Chain A
């Protein structure tokens, strides 16, 4: 992770300088000092590049003088509308422009300490890389920037805020690593053992194997797993940071690879299915974040980990399984497996922990991508209050949600001829009917289901997320807890 230090504002005399510039703001502070020291090179470059500080604008000035190797600037938009999120995005853009530099400083003078920490967060989040399997990288292809100094007039406040944010960034990186790992390396047992390493943060971790899940009666989850040579796991992570109150619960779908099973997927794009565990990955990162920043909350994270393979022992279309809840399910399509895994884990979460609410995350349906694209995850919930809180946390964290409908007309499409329900419906409204299926395993608890199929992976860089695993959900749910559920 990019190393962050905070220092008092002073114009550096070497290395690179990064500037956060509000729209139409006059030269002042370190920006003014840099402009003066370079004989007006900064203002001249801004004019030449038509850089006015608008949202999303950026400019690079090479060798501007005054000993500096480069000055980079990113726009924040209008002064009155600057949020932590905008600072993060601008800082992320700046971090991407600084990768060739060894030494760099980012000027956050003129902003409160919290915003200086947000700048650090944006830069760190953007600088993530997953290089585990590259053996032949040339030194010139590697980013040189290993440390970034944030220049701020409120060093103490920034450092205190950053200590918390860094724990969240650690959680995000943990998730991105899990999601990026290929499925021959990251199978259920391996993912469980990586989660166990988080015990050092103070998480209590329990791992359930094939035998334990059989003893519990997880027929729905086990049906998905039975085609694979890799046995399943359920991992339960508990964080006791609060008092005696009941925990909040987060549940994740962790299909470490999804071939579709006997209802096998087409070959084109199947490689993407290594990230069909992104919901579970995000729950793990979230729990690491909560524990890492010692959140004053009791929280439990549960992930169901399986591999969905076609084989001689695989579940067949038409099979009927008995879920942990006792309800029977006719499996008409083995590629609608995520809901089968979640069904048992959701029920277990309620039986065991009686949580205040549950949020599940899953790369559940292709239909949610056709509905919303890659900008919002779909949110389905039985609780308007939870919906409002999640929507607000999504906007603030940049992990946006859009609420989708539920209702009897959708639920009734799950009717099976021979069991309590079937696991698929036709394509129309199929993200909604998937949520309706999950709702049948929610026992009158406030609950939200986040369908993150369109947001878990990104095919191009964005301000704070390099191309690849996004860890969507970690920051959103951390924010939800921080704003509403900490004592």
Chain B
């Protein structure tokens, strides 16, 4: 995260970003703007090097996107400034937020300097409005949560094992979030048949993390549930080698839940929220669970395993059943669950499945506000029927290519949520970006953190509603 300061006037020793609207280009920059064909159209830039200093004019559009674009042009500057004196505190803060998201990079594992890596570390948000600091405090919690999630998603699986993930949650405990961990023995004793089976092939035992933010309202909590497969080989139904390394990110759902609850704590949300993270490594080993195995889940439901690479729904099923015991107002699970959703929606939107259309609509609008888009997908009768098993209560997926696996996975999960209002966000394809562009850093996105933070703010913080 960039270090943000709030000087009243622009510093002399850092490039200055000036957001402008058409017709408002400062006179001293007009000749350069004309020469560069810059008209201040939204989300365009004009970089000017003059004796008086280094300036970046940026056409003001969506404030976050504008901030991201400006940062993308100045990533090699250790420090930048944004002249926000003519902007509202909210817009000023959003510009800084966009810059922080764009400037994120992960260099903890480098031992030698990377000549292309961003150096940007500090941002002076130049503002004469005293409310700008408060606006920043408001938005920065979500940004910090998102960047925390990105770091988790990026960390390789030899370091971020289930136990490694738990260790990283120390940051949340520092923010007054309580952490309870059910270790493998506790999971076996309690009957987490799905999570135990998925984790049993690995030398890194599975565990369940339960995070709680108490809030101040005396209302039933909202539950976040995250899939946290720290590495997914596919298990006995092993994946092809190509691209398997990306499976270190198969815990992005759990990371998003952790990031979101951190955001709520950092901004002292009044809403009580808990998060259940199902952490396991799906390894190929002598103890691995097998295709054809029948598992007895925490809920008591028996599940016939078809493909050990459809492990996410097994760990989520137990985590959802566990979360439902708290009688939450609502449960939202996030998971990099299926390739099918990527075929369906590409890399632009996550799939949203639900048993509560109003909650789904709230989540979609919260997502749209923060640029994390959802599209509602169906759970049809045929999707559930396809899971009928010959020998157990249910199969967990359907054999064969071309299946609507995202819908079928959602139908499976629905069996474990009971009557609790519930959303399942299939974020596969959204957890990471293959390439950087003007508005986005390459790599982990932290998708879901800001959406959840916003959803809580929009729907669960009004004391009159609860």
Contact = CB atoms under 8 A, between A and B. Distances in A.
Interface of A: 366-367, 369-376, 400, 402, 404-405, 407, 409-410, 427-433
Interface in B400-422: 402-408
B380 A375 contact: yes
B301 to A, nearest CB: 23
A409 B348 contact: yes
A373 B347 contact: no
A370 B340 contact: yes
Contact of B343 (A370, A374, A402, A405): A370
B78 interface: no
A407 B346 CA distance: 12
Contacts of A369: 402, 404
B340 A371 contact: yes
B214 interface: no
Given A371-B343, A373-B408, A405-B375, 15 more contacts: A370-B343, A370-B405, A371-B404, A371-B407, A372-B404, A373-B382, A375-B380, A400-B380, A402-B377, A404-B375, A410-B346, A410-B348, A428-B343, A428-B429, A430-B346
Contacts of B381: 375
Given A366-B402, A429-B343, A373 B407 contact: yes
A375 B382 CA distance: 6
B348 A429 contact: yes
A456 to B, nearest CB: 15
5 contacts: A373-B383, A404-B375, A409-B348, A428-B346, A429-B344
A372 B343 CA distance: 10
Interface centre among B349, B403, B408 (most CB of A within 10 A): B349
B440 to A, nearest CB: 12
Given A376-B378, A405-B375, A429 B346 contact: yes
Interface in B101-118: none
Interface string B344-384: 11111100000000000000000000000001011011110
B342 interface: yes
Contacts of A366: 402
Contact of B380 (A376, A428, A430, A433): A376
Interface centre among A369, A375, A409, A410 (most CB of B within 10 A): A375
Contacts of B348: 405, 407, 409-410, 429
A370 to B, nearest CB: 4
Interface string B188-226: 000000000000000000000000000000000000000
Contacts of B403: 370, 373
Contact of B345 (A373, A402, A429): A429
Nearest to B373: A405
Contacts of B378: 372, 375-376, 402
A71 B403 CA distance: 39
A374 B378 CA distance: 12
A427 B347 CA distance: 11
B342 A428 contact: yes
Nearest to B351: A371
Nearest to A429: B346
A318 to B, nearest CB: 24
Contacts of A400: 380
B345 A432 contact: yes
Given A370-B403, A373-B403, A431 B380 contact: no
Contacts of B347: 428-429
Contacts of A427: 342-343
A373 B347 CA distance: 20
A432 B386 CA distance: 25
A407 B383 CA distance: 27
B402 A370 contact: yes
B379 to A, nearest CB: 10
A429 B375 CA distance: 12
Contacts of A409: 348
Contact of A374 (B340, B375, B382): B382
Nearest to B407: A373
A409 B440 CA distance: 14
A375 B345 contact: no
5 tightest Cβ-Cβ pairs between the two chains A and B? A429-B346, A371-B344, A373-B404, A375-B380, A428-B346
A310 to B, nearest CB: 23
A402 B376 CA distance: 9
Interface centre among B343, B386, B402 (most CB of A within 10 A): B343
Contact of B407 (A367, A372, A410, A428): A372
A39 to B, nearest CB: 38
A374 B403 CA distance: 9
Contacts of B386: 373
B262 to A, nearest CB: 29
Nearest to B380: A375
A367 B382 contact: no
A371 B346 contact: no
Nearest to B405: A370
A400 to B, nearest CB: 8
Nearest to A378: B344
B123 to A, nearest CB: 28
A42 B380 CA distance: 34
Nearest to B341: A371
A267 to B, nearest CB: 15
A432 B341 CA distance: 12
Given A405-B349, A430-B343, A371 B383 contact: no
Nearest to A368: B344
A439 B160 CA distance: 45
Nearest to A371: B344
A409 B378 CA distance: 23
